[in-house]
Structure 1
Amino acid sequence: MSGAAAEPWSTVRGLVDWLDAENGGGPQETAMRLMKLGEEAGEAMAAYIGLIGQNPRKGRTHEREDVADELCDVIVTAMVALHSFADDPAGHFAGKLRRIAERADAARGSSSP
């Protein structure tokens, strides 16, 4: 990978290195990183609830940008967690994304008249 496409993974690798230095590794840290992913997903959902004003007591408390920011937190947290399960997280993600796109292409092809 090179250029702009490699940059997010390089940045995430730095975050993983920092977390490893601060928190160590092992099953406990892996579990914590997965739990953090759940927490971030909850924050994205809460931001959306605030965007649409679903809670009548609070009303509208968030903007679209807030939801987008929370979704970015989910993505980064998942990228960090992926390092615990893949020797080449960027390659693994690229392969998975390709397989998802192939399935979507096949589904679109099967629904054509």
Structure 2
Amino acid sequence: MTDQDTRTPAPADLWTAIDELWAWLDAHDRHDPPQAVLLRVLKLSEEVGEVAQAVIGATGQNPRKGVSHTWADVRAELCDVVITALVALRTLTPDAQEEFTRHLARVTARSLGPAPSTTPPPQRRDM
């Protein structure tokens, strides 16, 4: 049996997992709420730095260290950034899922344009 087999299975739902992580952090937080919010947002900078470190390591850009990371490490660090950001968002609002969904829809519409219509365009009749 591996370590993974003995762990509690992760929630299937992203937002359930984010809520559970947020609750766990809140239960173990030693800072007052304003400081906790700032520290959770600052944690993003640390995680983004770890992505940069992994990219540098995966490409061997530090001659002293050589190739010290893999692209799997980069992917894992990017996942940590996403999780940290969603937990920080949840710290700022209990409606994190709705807020994120609305924002994603705005960014998607701005970038990709409106969703294509599912109804066919009207047929033009020549007169």
Q: 1:72 aligns with which of 67, 76, 79?
A: 79
Per-residue CA deviation, residues 61-83 of structure 1 (Å, 9 max, x unaligned), is 11110000000000000010001
2:84 counterpart letter in structure 1 = T
Paired residue secondary structure (1:23): coil
Q: Does 1:86 align with 2:93?
A: yes
Per-residue CA deviation, residues 21-67 of structure 1 (Å, 9 max, x unaligned), is 11055111111101111101100110001011111111111111000
- Name the structure where helix makes up a greater proportion of residues: 1
TM-score by length of structure 1 reads 0.84
Aligned residues: 101
Q: Does 1:12 align with 2:39?
A: no
Give the greater-gyration-radius structure (CA).
2
Q: 1:49 aligns with which of 51, 56, 59?
A: 56
CA RMSD of aligned residues (A): 1.3
Q: Distance in 2 between matches of 1:49 and 1:35?
A: 22
Q: 1:95 aligns with which of 102, 106, 113?
A: 102
Checking the alignment, whether the CA contact within 8 Å between 2:29 and 2:36 is kept in structure 1 is yes
Unaligned runs of 5+ in 2: 1-11, 114-127
User: 1:21-32 maps to which residues of 2 (within 5 A)?
Assistant: 21-23=27-29, 25-32=32-39
TM-score by length of structure 2 reads 0.75
Unaligned runs of 5+ in 1: 1-5, 107-113
